[in-house]
Amino acid sequence: MKIRFGLLFSLALMSSTVSAETFQVQDVRLEGLQRVEPGLVLRNFDVDTGEVVDQADIADATRRLFRTGYFDDIRIARDGDILVLKLKERPAVSLIRLDGNKVLEDEALLDGLKQSGLREGDVFKRATLDKVRQDLLRVYTGIGRYGAAIEAEVEPLSDNRVALNIDIKEGKEATIQHINIVGNTVFTDEELKDKFSLKLPSFWKFFSDDGKYAREKLAGDLERLRSYYMDRGYINFSIDSSQVSISPDKKHVFITLNVTEGEQYSIRDVGVAGDLVVDEQELLDVITVKAGETFSRKEVTDSQEALTRKLGDNGYLFANISPVPALNDDNTVSLQYFVAPGKRTYVRRISISGNTKTADEVARRSMSQLEGGIASTAAIERSKERIAQTGYFKDVNVETAPVPGTDDQVDIQYTVVEDNTGNLSAALGFSQTSGVILSAELEQDNFLGSGNSVGIGATKSDTIKELKFSYLEPYYTVDGVSRGYNFFIRETDFKESNVSNFSTDTIGTGINFGYPMDDYQRLNFGLNFEGTKVKTISSTSQEILDFIAAEGDQYNNVLATIRWTDNHLNRRIFPTKGYSQSASLEVAVPGSDLTYHKEQYRIRWYHPLDDKEDWIWSLRGRLGYAGSLGNNDFPFFKHYFSGGLTTVRGFKSNSLGPRDSKNDPFGGTFAADSSAELIFPLPFDDSNSMRGVVFFDAGNVFQTECPSRSSNCNNGIKFNELRYSTGIGFSWLTPIGPISIALSKALNAKSSDDTRFFEFALGRTF
């Protein structure tokens, strides 16, 4: 595009040559502007009012203005001492049309065009369009589509506007035909290529990314290859070159890597040096790198992080740990960690933000880190966990910032997002045991922002009708001792629960206290009263009738309970790592109508198998034991049961174990069940609200003491009577509650067992 300069002077009497004339500019007038801001013109046309200029000055200013790229033509005129700029703007991009793109969506491509300087509403520059074409080609080349072609057409529109029609031929993805590694002798090609994300095409290539080349994947594979050698002692390993060749038809990729392995090194000795503000032995204890072992860069880095945490736990939040390996002639490494701890750090202020309804005190009482104290990395992080575990907040984040003007103080900011801790809800559930479950509850886990919990609810199903009230004060004392009350009225129909034909009416109330043992463990003590009445029907078994004949049908019992919990799970629902365990003891104290004891232990364990924590190995188990105290038999309505979604899937709920004289499940006084699960993600779930599971279950219940009048009791624990099952299932967190489905196969069912292939429950997870 050529610049056309016209110096038109309106005063005809001026006879001197333009080139020789200078004049003082009294004003600058702009003509022809439509979209460009006048300020942009005046900033780039560097001629100010009152300045004396000649033609050379005007030409220089005009060139600067033209270089902005906003104008097709700039003409200069003069009206007396007024300089007139007649401007012809370049057209504006009114519309960008994309056609032919399927792999990359319009939104992603338009965002890329913006970064390249082209978007709707901007001034059209052909140079930018050429750059965009090349950028798009590089994007497609980066994902292995070397045959991609980009054509761009400029369509003139009215009002000095244009539409850009970008036609994209994405081409086919080039597939990897060969990966060749040259120079490796210690590890085979197969061992090394097994670590790559880039793979040769497989039989399942239509359902996977096998065989597809991407530049980013190759960069990641090179780093994985380097780490693989470095973690196995090959400190001097290097990748000399990586060559990617394209076939003439641009459909195939050939990758060649040239490597130098070097010698393998082992650790001769490990030490710490520098300013050892923490005992040297304490520092050495957290180092996992040991003398005599093969050198591993990962172990060196892990030990560096462990030392940093150790110093952080002791108040040195800004410590710098530098591992320095010294190579010896005998292929060993002397490894020294140099410690620069800096000053011990103190907490000036702890702030909490985002708590619009919860009092600061509710969060602060959960903190391990205190204001004015020595800052501790462990205490800061543990405080974050404990605030999250209150259940009052959806999200908790923490930031540690140095105090300006100091080198030994920090401020800690906890930012929380309030959760909906109070609700009035009506719920619908279903299980094959209880049928349709209707419930209405008014719950407030954070009553008036105090952190106290209040709840009242009603439940009705085929097996149970219940009214309940509860109140819990988590911090009855400043030390974290909790106090709670409860009251309930309950009708239970055991016949509808697939067990013996009887029902109970129970009223109960109690008080309990909880004592924190540490950040994870807690002891709870309770004293409760239960009044129970047993009701029979014509088909009630003889065992129950005999018990009633001896003990009556109504019992008032005072129950002393103790429960220990140890919770290290990272989430309450759908945990991905950690474990939890609990042990409980319930005793009907002397003076009760029925005296007995009942113990139970439960454990859950989760271990992620990948960094994203999508694949998880899980174990759970339960052991229960019970027996009578005094002269009465153990109350049958306190029996353990097994079978169903929460114990041994594949068998009807509560159906395993001893049976009564009517051949109905009767339960027992000893329970043992366990499960091993492989939890996996579902491909169509992006919100982590679903998880699939492959499981193996085992368990049963047994009778350890027979009723005194029973002639049909086979007591004793017989582990050859354990039942086994396997299957697949999934749980889904829906807006109306969790849904769980299991497809199970009972592996050693006997003819008397009641099996179930399909099990379903609304309101329950695995």
Instruction: Flag whether pLDDT at 573 surpasses 50.
Output: yes
Query: What average pLDDT does this structure show over 529-550?
Result: 91
Going 630 to 635 to 636 to 641, the CA torsion angle's sign is negative
Contact between 58 and 47 (Cβ < 8 Å): yes
pLDDT at 604: 96
- Over residues 440-468, the mean pLDDT reads 74
pLDDT(208) > 60? no
**Chain segment 680-719, per-residue pLDDT in tens:** 988 766 556 788 999 999 999 999 887 766 666 777 888 8
User: Cα(211)–Cα(255) distance, rounded to whole angstroms?
Assistant: 12
Q: Is the pLDDT of residue 210 over 70?
A: no
Helical H runs in 437-595?
A: 542-551
Residue 428's pLDDT is: 46
Report the pLDDT averaged over residues 264-279. Answer: 93
Q: Could you read off the pLDDT of 99-148 as tens digits, one per residue?
A: 888 877 777 777 777 777 777 777 777 777 777 788 788 887 777 787 78
662: pLDDT strictly greater than 90: no
pTM above threshold 0.85: no
- Percentage of the residues of the chain whose pLDDT score is greater than 70: 88
Q: What is the pLDDT of residues 81-102, one digit of tens each?
A: 888 899 888 888 888 888 888 8
- Between CA 634 and CA 669 the distance in angstroms is 8
Dihedral sign (CA 299, 304, 310, 313): negative
Residues 763, 441: contact at Cβ < 8 Å?
no
Q: For residue 440, list its beta bridge partners.
A: 426, 458
- E strand spans, 126-250: 149-157, 161-169, 175-182, 238-246
Calpha distance 735→713 (Å, rounded): 47
Compute the distance between CA of residue 521 and CA of residue 567 in angstroms, rounded to an integer. Answer: 7
pLDDT reported for residue 151:
85
Closest CA to 555 of 630, 501, 466, 614: 630
pLDDT at 735 (0 to 100): 66
Give the position of tokens 């990729």: 253
How high is the mean pLDDT of the chain? 84
Quick: pLDDT tens for 613-646. Answer: 889 999 999 999 999 998 888 999 999 999 988 8
- pLDDT at position 697: 97
Q: Percent of the chain at pLDDT above 90? A: 41
Q: Tell me what pLDDT residue 485 has.
A: 93
Contacts of 739 (CB under 8 A, 6+ apart): 731, 732, 760, 761, 762
How high is the pLDDT of residue 440?
58
The stretch 176-188 carries a mean pLDDT of 90
Q: Which of 640, 526, 545, 535 is nearest to 588 (CA)?
A: 526
Domains in the chain, CATH or no CATH each: 8-89 (3.10.20.310), 92-169 (3.10.20.310), 175-260 (3.10.20.310), 266-340 (3.10.20.310), 346-418 (3.10.20.310), 447-762 (2.40.160.50)
pLDDT for res 15: 31
Q: What's the rounded mean pLDDT across residues 246-257? A: 85
21-25, 548-552, 668-672, 721-725, range with the lowest pLDDT:
21-25
Is the pLDDT at 202 greater than 80? The verdict is no
Mean pLDDT of 711-732: 87
Which of 248-262, 298-312, 534-548 has the largest mean confidence? 298-312
Output the CA angle 580-581-584, nearest 5 degrees: 145
Does residue 4 have a pLDDT over 50? no
pLDDT computed for residue 429 by the predictor:
45
pLDDT tier for residue 156 given thresholds of 50, 70 and 90: confident
CA 502 to chain centroid, in Å, comes to 47
Q: What is the pLDDT of residue 249?
A: 78
Give the contacts of 722 (CB within 8 A, at least 6 positions apart): 672, 698, 699, 700
Model pLDDT for residues 592-618, shown as the tens digit of each residue: 999 999 999 999 999 999 877 889 999
pLDDT at 349: 92
pLDDT, mean of residues 563-583: 90
Higher pLDDT, 11 or 655: 655
| Cβ neighbours of residue 757 closer than 8 Å, sequence gap 6 or more | 650, 743, 744, 745
d(CA 638, CA 667) in angstroms, rounded, equals: 9
> In the structure, what pLDDT confidence band is assigned to residue 443 with cuts at 50, 70 and 90?
low
Contact 580, 603 (CB under 8 A): yes
pLDDT grade for 315, boundaries at 50, 70 and 90: very high
Amino acid 579: pLDDT? 94
pLDDT tens digit sequence for 472-522: 888 888 777 899 999 999 998 877 666 788 889 999 999 999 998 987 899
